[in-house]
Amino acid sequence: MPYIHQLPDWPHFRWRDKDLVEKLATVRHHQGRLLGRMEGLGFTLRDEATLRTLTEEVVKTSEIEGERLDMDQVRSSLARRLGMERGAIAAPVDHNVEGIVEVILDATRKYDQPLTEERLFGWHAALFPNGWSGMNKIAVAQWRNASIEVVSGPDGKHRVHFEGPPAPRVGKEMKAFLEWFNAANPKTDLVLKAGITHLWFVTIHPFEDGNGRIARALAEMMLARSEKTTQRFYSFSAQIRRERDKYYDCLEDTQKGNLDVTDHLFWFLDCLGRAFEGAEKTLADVLHKSTFWDKHDSSALNERQRKIINMLLNGFEGKLTSSKWAKITNSSQPTAGRDIDDLMKRGILTKDAAGGRSTSYSLVESF
């Protein structure tokens, strides 16, 4: 069975509008309602929601590819670039974090600028500044010059989903893609165009590596165009990560089908709808954090305490112990103990059920 890029009418995608109209209307309604709710938060809280969303987007788009980034570093890099220094940390940030942050911010904050070959090459160079992907030397900022398989899973147990077009075709394929991406087409809803963008780019797979991350950045770019805002309140990549197996199944089925991509777009709209639902947690967390500082902002908390509390409010991974406190704040164990005891007396921290040498602490839910 041929892949869709081998079909004679490639790349003329088609879909059944009547089958998508209800789902698209529902997604557009939820999208508008979410943007309206976020607009009502006020400038500071909107910034915090955007920072949280972009942090999740960067972390999860990398996680899909098997790369785990330090969330605090990601948040710090984003905060610094967005002019939100209160979210930044002094420690240096890894180049792999800085690279994907640059790509996501360029895609979402300059969504209305044309997409060019040079711009895509710049994104690719940002992802692989040293010319290496793990242990493999790759060609950076240029189209791939060899065949490529799209796979998932660990080495030795990976699953091949499809093969990309032959390398000699890539330049011509990307020229057609870029012309379509930049063209105004009033008949195609931009949310649907975001779904086609992701599928088309992934099918071409123009680079040796990094195609998935760039495809998802392009989808976010088109979604930003659909909303006409640089602020992001939901993460498409985070939702794909939650349902990664289903994502790869759908992608594989589409590649082995025909150019009627209705089913793929139906999946895309469903996935987007679930991403909007995930944004509700972001909203709740932002309001939770705001409520805390409204109550405690006047308290005489030191810098170390504020740093740890913000980390807990932002979703601290694992258990908070006195030794972790000392390491994170670069303080002594006795100092960490005094900081913790002070917060417990204030009713801000509480000791978790497990005691002894494994004593850990959490925020008091009721503040």
Same domain, yes or no, for 60 and 193?
A: yes
Q: Classify residue 115: in a domain, yes or no.
A: yes
Domain that holds residue 230: 4-287
Same domain, 345 and 207: no
Position 298 scores a pLDDT of 63
Question: Is 51 in contact with 232 (CB distance < 8 Å)?
Answer: no
Give me the sign of the Cα torsion angle 126, 131, 133, 138: positive
Which CATH number does the domain housing residue 53 bear? 1.10.3290.10
Instruction: Clarify whether residues 282 and 319 are in a common domain.
Output: no
Where among 287, 317, 336 does a domain terminate? 287
292 within some domain: no
Residues 209 and 307 in one domain: no
Which of 287, 314, 334 represents a domain boundary (last residue)? 287
| Same-domain check for residues 25 and 145 | yes
Is 168 part of any domain?
yes
**Mean pLDDT taken over the chain:** 91
User: Residue 217 corresponds to which tokens in the numbers above?
Assistant: 């950045």
| 260, 287, 314 - which closes a domain | 287
Do residue 272 and residue 306 come from a single domain? no
Strands 136-137, 132-133: pairing is antiparallel
- Pair (47, 115) in one structural domain: yes
Q: Are residues 74 and 95 in the same domain?
A: yes
Instruction: Report the CATH number at residue 316.
Output: 1.10.10.10
Q: What is the pLDDT of residue 85?
A: 65
pLDDT at 56 over 90: yes
Same domain, 27 and 149: yes
**Which residues, in sequence order, are CB contacts of 129 under 8 Å at separation 6+?**
95, 99
Evaluate if residue 90 carries a pLDDT over 60: no
Domain tally, the chain: 2
Residue 11 lies in a domain: yes
Highest mean pLDDT among 36-45, 147-156, 195-204: 195-204
Residue 195 has pLDDT above 60, yes or no: yes
Residue 130 belongs to some domain of the structure: yes
Q: Cα(194)–Cα(175) distance, rounded to whole angstroms?
A: 18
* Domain-located, residue 18: yes
Query: pLDDT class for 295, splitting at 50, 70, 90?
Result: confident
For the whole model, what pTM was predicted?
Answer: 0.84
Percent of the chain with pLDDT over 90: 72
Average pLDDT over residues 100-118: 98
**Together in a domain, 243 and 332:** no
- Mean pLDDT confidence for 244-270: 95
- What mean pLDDT comes out for the span 197-216? 97
Tens of pLDDT, residues 130-139: 999 988 999 9
Same domain, 93 and 237: yes
Encode the chain in three state secondary structure.
CCCHHHCCCCCCCECCHHHHHHHHHHHHHHHHHHHHHHHCCCHHHHHHHHHHHHHHHHHHHHHCCCCCCCHHHHHHHHHHHCCCHHHCCCCCCCHHHHHHHHHHHHHHHCCCCCCCHHHHHHHHHHHCCCCEECCEECCCCCCCCCCCEEEECCCCCCEEEEECCCHHHHHHHHHHHHHHHHCCCCCCCHHHHHHHHHHHHHHHCCCCCCHHHHHHHHHHHHHHHHHCCCCCCCCHHHHHHHCHHHHHHHHHHHHCCCCECHHHHHHHHHHHHHHHHHHHHHHHHHHHHHHHHHHHCCCCCCHHHHHHHHHHHCCCCCCECHHHHHHHHCCCHHHHHHHHHHHHHCCCEEECCCCHHHCCEEECCCC
User: For residue 139, is it within any domain?
Assistant: yes
- The mean pLDDT value for 293-303 works out to 81
41 — pLDDT class (breaks 50, 70, 90): confident
Domain shared by 210 and 324, yes or no: no
Judge whether 331 lies within some domain. yes
Query: Residue 304: its pLDDT value, please?
Result: 92
